């Protein structure tokens, strides 16, 4: 069966024509659209996803880092089926949410209490609101260009560019058209990993800052981790100025049994999680120190920060999460991280062998490919390195990989899942090498003609 891009008579093309009549932009979810139309999924098992035209590919995106155990892991499927038959959601708490909460709380020293939400976006929103409620201060700091979900405040300066980003001190720039000025006023934007500049900006806003939102390995800053000095500075600032350090581990939780905070020795006051915690079902978590988490307590009257949600702690997500946390062992994360190291090395070798300019970054089981050898490390450097042409090259690489049985993202991000073995990594490296050689050859021909 041909793996090449499904043509206009394919089932994917047909579904896409239907979707265009229903959805703005032809999709219900921005990040699953690409031109001319997305390839539609039919079913998946292990590390392979089969499209509606019957083509199976190795999945290196895993719903943007959710499916750490691959698709339809039998333990997770059994837990979901069993729970769905017993009740999908109740207006009562269940033992399941207590069990999952206990499992998560046992994993990191910074967690005393937690609350469940339905998504990472919601977890970040509640953490930010919680930090404001705890400190009584209005502002939040975040790093320029970093994604923390769709809450207005978390989105500020997400896609800043040289026309608007200001000089040394980053401007707070609205992401969504029409974002209120008030939102920009209450977000302080920091240059990732720049200790001196960030410290100065934080100090200028110290009286008004409720907290700092940090992702320890932001992909939009090149997939390079926050330095120990940067983390130390943020921690000592928050300690000195009665502000809350919120670590966003929606993606990085997969890096260690106790997330990035364990891997890099970070001591956050609050942590947000999601994705992998739900084993494929929607979930979000806000965890943190008891005295801060108390802001959500409504047992004795109105909470300082109200938190509810019709589906928060729903038993099906909880059951899937319990099964997932049982699978997320130290051995599993260590093995996957080692496989990630080997994958990055093989991909670097592919760039070398094909003699194409590029670099491969990422941590643990996260992989990022870039068509640039310029140093990355913060948002502005990453933005400059990813010229329009290089971004197009990543989309081009994505298509060539599809034709070779590999599902990667359109912007260079990939990740591994536990059903993968060395054979899948070799398949990826061979497919990348063959694709890069094609790209090189086509560029050469274009130069000659
Ligand atoms: N924070 C980070 C670091 C994320 O990468 C994401 C999603 N990719 C979110 C928050 C938002 O999570 P969700 O898509 O579940 O709302």
Of all protein residues, the one whose alpha carbon is nearest to atom 7 of ligand 1 is 149
- Residue whose tokens read 């079902």: 281
Residue at which a domain ends, from 327, 342, 370 = 327
Q: How many domains does the chain have?
A: 2
154 and 143 within one domain: yes
154 and 29 within one domain: no
Measure the CA–CA gap between 64 and 219, rounded to whole angstroms.
Answer: 12
C-beta of 64 in contact with ligand 1 (< 6 A): yes
How many Cβ atoms sit within 10 Å of the Cβ of residue 102?
12
Ligand 1 center to 28 CA (angstroms): 17
308 and 185 within one domain: yes
C-beta of 32 in contact with ligand 1 (< 6 A): no
Measure the CA–CA gap between 55 and 62, rounded to whole angstroms.
Answer: 17
The larger pLDDT score, comparing residue 168 to residue 126, is at 126
pLDDT digits (tens, 9 = 90+) for 334-390: 999 999 999 999 999 999 999 999 999 999 999 999 999 999 999 999 999 999 999
| Secondary structure of 45-108 as H, E, C letters | EECEEEECCCCEEEECCHHHHCCCCCECCHHHHHHHHHHHHHCCCCCCCCHHHHHHHHHHHCCC
C-beta of 252 in contact with ligand 1 (< 6 A): no
260 and 231 within one domain: yes
Q: With a threshold of 0.95, does the pTM exceed it? A: yes
> What's the distance, CA 425 to chain centroid?
21
Closest ligand 1 atom to Cα of 119 = 15
C-beta of 118 in contact with ligand 1 (< 6 A): no
Strands 113-117 and 139-143: unpaired
pLDDT digits (tens, 9 = 90+) for 210-266: 999 999 999 999 999 999 999 999 999 999 999 999 999 999 999 999 999 999 999
Of 30, 121, 153, 282, the residue with max ligand 1 atoms within 8 A of its CB, to mutate for a pocket test, comes to: 121
What average pLDDT score do residues 309-329 get? 98
C-beta of 219 in contact with ligand 1 (< 6 A): no
- Check if the beta carbon of residue 386 is closer than 8 Å to that of residue 370: yes
Residue at which a domain ends, from 327, 354, 372 = 327
56 and 83 within one domain: no
C-beta of 121 in contact with ligand 1 (< 6 A): yes
Is 5 among the domain residues?
Answer: no
Measure the CA–CA gap between 401 and 409, rounded to whole angstroms.
Answer: 10
83 and 42 within one domain: no
pLDDT digits (tens, 9 = 90+) for 169-220: 999 999 999 999 999 999 999 999 999 999 999 999 999 999 999 999 999 9
What average pLDDT score do residues 110-120 get? 98
C-beta of 148 in contact with ligand 1 (< 6 A): yes
**Structure-block tokens of residue 313:** 């702690």
334 and 434 within one domain: yes
333 and 243 within one domain: no
Q: Name the H helices within 241-329.
A: 259-264, 290-293, 315-327
What single DSSP character describes residue 216? S
pLDDT digits (tens, 9 = 90+) for 19-60: 999 999 999 998 888 889 999 999 999 999 999 999 999 999
Is 4 among the domain residues?
Answer: no
Is 382 among the domain residues?
Answer: yes
Query: Is residue 2 predicted with pLDDT exceeding 90?
Result: no
Q: Alpha carbon of 186 to those of 173, 307, 335: distances in Å?
A: 11, 21, 42
How many Cβ atoms sit within 10 Å of the Cβ of residue 223?
24
CATH code assigned at 385: 3.90.1150.10
Backbone φ, ψ for residue 413 (5° rounding): -90, 135
C-beta of 314 in contact with ligand 1 (< 6 A): no
323 and 333 within one domain: no
Helix (H) or strand (E) holding 248: strand 244-248
Q: What percent of the chain has pLDDT over 90?
A: 96
Query: Is residue 1 predicted with pLDDT exceeding 70?
Result: no
CA atoms within 13 A on the CB side of 135: 26
Backbone φ, ψ for residue 405 (5° rounding): 80, 20
C-beta of 313 in contact with ligand 1 (< 6 A): no
The terminus-to-terminus CA distance of the chain in angstroms comes to: 34
205 and 127 within one domain: yes
**Helix axis angle, 422-448 to 330-354, nearest 10°:** 20
pLDDT at 32: 84
Find, among 311, 286, 283, 310, the residue nearest to 296 by Cα.
286
Measure the CA–CA gap between 311 and 139, rounded to whole angstroms.
Answer: 29
Strand partners, 43: 50
153 and 136 within one domain: yes
Q: What is the mean pLDDT of the chain?
A: 97
**Structure-block tokens of residue 402:** 């599809």
Is 6 among the domain residues?
Answer: no
Of 123, 215, 275, 276, the residue with max ligand 1 atoms within 8 A of its CB, to mutate for a pocket test, comes to: 275
CATH code assigned at 168: 3.40.640.10
pLDDT at 30: 86
Of 62, 250, 252, the residue with max ligand 1 atoms within 8 A of its CB, to mutate for a pocket test, comes to: 250
Residue at which a domain ends, from 295, 327, 359 = 327
412 pLDDT band (50/70/90 cuts)?
A: very high
Domain limits for position 413: 11-68+329-448
């Amino acid at each position: 069966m041909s793996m090449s891009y499904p043509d206009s008579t394919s089932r994917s093309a047909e579904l896409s024509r239907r979707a265009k009549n229903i959805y703005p932009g032809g999709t219900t979810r921005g990040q699953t659209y690409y031109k001319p139309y997305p390839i539609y999924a039919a079913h998946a098992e292990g590390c392979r996803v089969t499209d509606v035209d019957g083509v199976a590919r190795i999945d290196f995106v895993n719903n943007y880092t959710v499916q750490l155990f691959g698709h339809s892991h039998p333990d997770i499927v059994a837990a979901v089926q069993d729970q769905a038959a017993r009740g999908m959601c109740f207006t009562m708490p269940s033992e399941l949410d207590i069990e999952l909460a206990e499992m998560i709380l046992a994993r990191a020293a910074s967690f005393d209490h937690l609350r469940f939400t339905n998504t990472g976006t919601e977890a970040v929103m509640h953490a930010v609101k919680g930090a404001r409620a705890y400190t009584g201060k209005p502002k939040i700091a975040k790093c320029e260009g970093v994604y923390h979900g769709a809450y207005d405040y978390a989105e500020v300066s997400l896609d800043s560019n040289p026309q608007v980003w200001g000089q040394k001190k980053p401007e707070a720039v609205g992401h969504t058209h029409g974002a209120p000025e008030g939102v920009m006023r209450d977000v302080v934007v920091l240059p990732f990993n720049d200790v001196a500049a960030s410290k100065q900006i934080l100090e200028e806003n110290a009286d008004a800052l409720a907290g700092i939102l940090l992702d320890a390995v932001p992909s939009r800053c090149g997939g390079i981790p926050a330095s120990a000095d940067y983390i130390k500075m943020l921690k000592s600032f928050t300690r000195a100025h009665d502000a809350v350090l919120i670590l966003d581990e929606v993606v990085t939780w997969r890096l260690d049994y106790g997330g990035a905070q364990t891997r890099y020795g970070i001591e956050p006051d609050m942590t947000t999680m999601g994705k992998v915690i739900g084993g494929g079902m929607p979930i979000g978590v806000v965890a943190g120190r008891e005295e801060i988490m108390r802001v959500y307590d409504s047992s004795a009257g109105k909470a300082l920060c109200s938190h509810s949600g019709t589906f928060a702690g729903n038993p099906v997500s909880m059951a899937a999460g319990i099964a997932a946390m049982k699978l997320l062992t130290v051995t599993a994360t260590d093995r996957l991280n080692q496989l990630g190291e080997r994958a990055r090395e093989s991909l670097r070798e592919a760039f070398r062998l094909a003699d194409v300019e590029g670099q491969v970054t990422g941590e643990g089981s996260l992989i990022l490919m870039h068509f640039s050898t310029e140093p990355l490390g913060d948002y502005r450097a990453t933005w400059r390195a990813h010229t329009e042409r290089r971004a197009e090259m990543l989309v081009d690489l994505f298509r060539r990989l599809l034709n070779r049985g590999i599902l990667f993202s359109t912007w260079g991000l990939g990740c591994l899942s536990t059903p993968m073995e060395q054979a899948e990594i070799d398949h990826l490296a061979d497919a990348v090498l063959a694709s890069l050689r094609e790209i090189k050859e086509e560029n050469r021909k274009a130069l000659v003609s």
